[in-house]
């Protein structure tokens, strides 16, 4: 993912926080919000990324993607790797996202990658 220093990033299903660490390394003024439905995975991510949390670059939340509400916050990049939910359920519709509500969390002017 071509993360820029000022990007605001949402990671869905952060697991152990490996990708989160790689993203945070590239952020200067941007921020990362990472969610996972597993408390165990969030705890692991927090341990791995403590320095980024302390620096105010990252935050980690226990949340299911279908229940997560970013409020007014919008993101330049949204990342989901090996999230089983996206491989079952609603299915693909001609190449568009099977979860169009996630598009609401994306900034309107964010470039597509």
Number of alpha helices (DSSP H) and beta strands (DSSP E) in the chain: 3, 4
* Residue range 81-106, pLDDT digits in tens: 766 554 444 444 444 454 555 556 65
The answer to whether residue 3 is domain-embedded is no
Any idea what the Cα angle at residue 96 is, between residues 93 and 98, rounded to 5°? 65
Alpha helix (H) ranges present in 2-98?
18-26, 39-48, 50-54
d(Cα 110, Cα 112) in Å, to the nearest integer? 7
The answer to whether residue 27 is domain-embedded is yes
Q: What is the CATH number of the domain that holds 82?
A: 3.40.50.150
| The model's pTM | 0.76
pLDDT along the chain (113 residues), means of 10: 94 95 97 96 98 98 90 91 55 48 60 54
Residue span of the structural domain in which 97 resides: 8-105
The answer to whether residue 2 is domain-embedded is no
The total domain count for the chain is 1
């Amino acid at each position: 993912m071509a993360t820029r220093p000022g990007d605001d990033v949402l990671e869905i299903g952060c697991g152990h926080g490996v990708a989160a660490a790689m993203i945070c390394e590239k952020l200067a003024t941007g921020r990362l919000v990472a969610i996972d439905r597993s408390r165990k995975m969030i705890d692991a991510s927090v341990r791995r990324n403590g320095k980024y949390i302390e620096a105010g670059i990252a935050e980690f939340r226990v949340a299911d993607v279908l229940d997560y509400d970013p409020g007014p916050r919008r993101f330049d990049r949204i990342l989901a790797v090996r999230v089983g939910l996206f491989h079952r359920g609603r299915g693909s519709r001609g190449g568009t996202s099977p979860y169009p509500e996630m598009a609401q969390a994306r900034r309107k002017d964010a470039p597509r990658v």
